[in-house]
Structure 1
Amino acid sequence: MQTETTPSANLKIWNRLQHLPLGKWMFSRAVCLKAPYFRTIHPAIEELRPGYCRVTAPNRRGVHNHLGTFHAIASCNMAELAGGMMTDATIPSTHRWIPVGMTVEYKAQARTAVTAIAHLHSIPEFGSEPIDLTVPVDVSDESGNIFVTARITMRITPRR
């Protein structure tokens, strides 16, 4: 049975800031202050709602590998950011989450800015029992070609 459906603090803040000038930029920067390793990819959270998150990042030298393409681990960072923010926006404020596993497929190279999309096709019930939620994330280049797919397992538990 679904528990309280009060949105997470992050989703409340997003909903207030997203329509303001520089609101998405401020929100993205605040996320990077809370989790500094995301700063390395210079992400911009473009869309956030229960069951969906879209994050973009520029193609710049700091995310390149030795071949001059978007680095595999930078792509994993994109996937984890999109998946984590989507999970946070989806679960009720009475619950918490933590990633416990991730599988990644590298399908191609990217030489452009990238977009990571985490999207649930259906939102499960969050009750008193812990659940493992598999979050699919696709990372694509500017042409929409998916070059990385990730499946992140998020453990969802009620807050103590």
Structure 2
Amino acid sequence: MTVDTASPGKIFTIWKTLEKLPFGNWLFTRAVCFKVPYFRTVHPLIRELAPGLCRVSAPNRRGVRNHLGTYHAIASCNMAEIAGGIMTDATVPSTHRWIPAGMAVEYKDRATTGVTSIARLDPIPEFGEEPMDLVVPVDVLDADGNVFFSAEITMYVSRKKAR
């Protein structure tokens, strides 16, 4: 497999520009939510983004609580998908494309606070000519830093077709 040294994707390039500005991460998050409207449902804020890493926070508000008053399972899935997808886009070179192919989740506890999702790849794999399944681990933590939800999102990564 050959290592692809192409430039990062558009999303990461935009992040690098906006993160330097006051409220840049807020503006960046709004743009992401405009492109993927469902993400808005958890009121995310992308706090950190780099190849192999994305950290996203969200408040615990009425719209994401279940009937028990805890952070809803599907809202947790949404938080995992935001962090996993944005991190994947920042990691995969611009010569490649990706799409979520599946997600396995584990509910470890419950959360009654705001949450933070962290997607991390270490080490970052090589992206070559052959398509691959990239498994992205994501943890969702409560305000005390306890992991209450974990996901493994399988991203199908392939080289973009020549135009």
TM-score (norm 2): 0.97
The CA deviation at 1:4 is 3.4
Within 5 Å, which residues of 2 pair with 1:86-105?
A: 86-105=87-106
Match of 1:20 in 2: 21
- Distance, in Å, in 2 between the alignment partners of 1:64 and 1:126 is 39
* Structure 1: gaps (5+ residues): none
The offset of 1:121, in angstroms, is 1.1
Q: How many residues align?
A: 160
- TM-score w.r.t. length of structure 1: 0.99
- Which residue in the other structure is 1:55 paired with? 56
- Deviation per residue, 1:71-124 (Å, 9 max, x gap): 000000000000000000001000010000100000111000000000011111
SS in 2 for 1:108: coil
Q: 1:80 maps to what in 2? A: 81
Report the Cα distance in structure 2 between the residues aligned to 1:3 and 1:25, rounded to whole angstroms: 31
Q: Does the aligned pair in 2 maintain the 1:117–1:138 contact within 8 Å? A: yes
Deviation at 1:153, TM superposition (A): 0.3
For residues 124 and 106 of structure 2, the distance between their equivalents in structure 1, rounded to whole angstroms, comes to: 24
* Inter-partner Cα distance in structure 2 for 1:10 and 1:25: 14
Name the counterpart of 1:148: 149
Alignment match, 2:109: 108
* Structure 1 match to 2:35: 34
Amino acid at match of 2:126: E
User: What pairs up with 1:3-18 in 2 under 5 angstroms?
Assistant: 3-18=4-19
Q: Cα RMSD between the aligned structures?
A: 0.6
Tell me, in whole angstroms, the C-alpha distance in 2 between the residues paired with 1:16 and 1:118. 21
Q: Is the 8 A contact 1:98 1:155 kept in 2?
A: yes
* 2:149 maps to amino acid: V
Structure 1 counterpart of 2:59, one-letter code: P
SS in 2 for 1:109: coil
Contact 1:100 1:155 in 2 (8 A): yes
Q: Please give the alpha-carbon distance, in whole angstroms, between the structure 1 residues aligned to 2:20 and 2:107.
A: 35
How far did 1:5 drift? Answer: 2.3
Q: Distance in 1 between matches of 2:6 and 2:104?
A: 30
Structure 2 counterpart of 1:122: 123
SS of 1:73 mapped into structure 2: helix
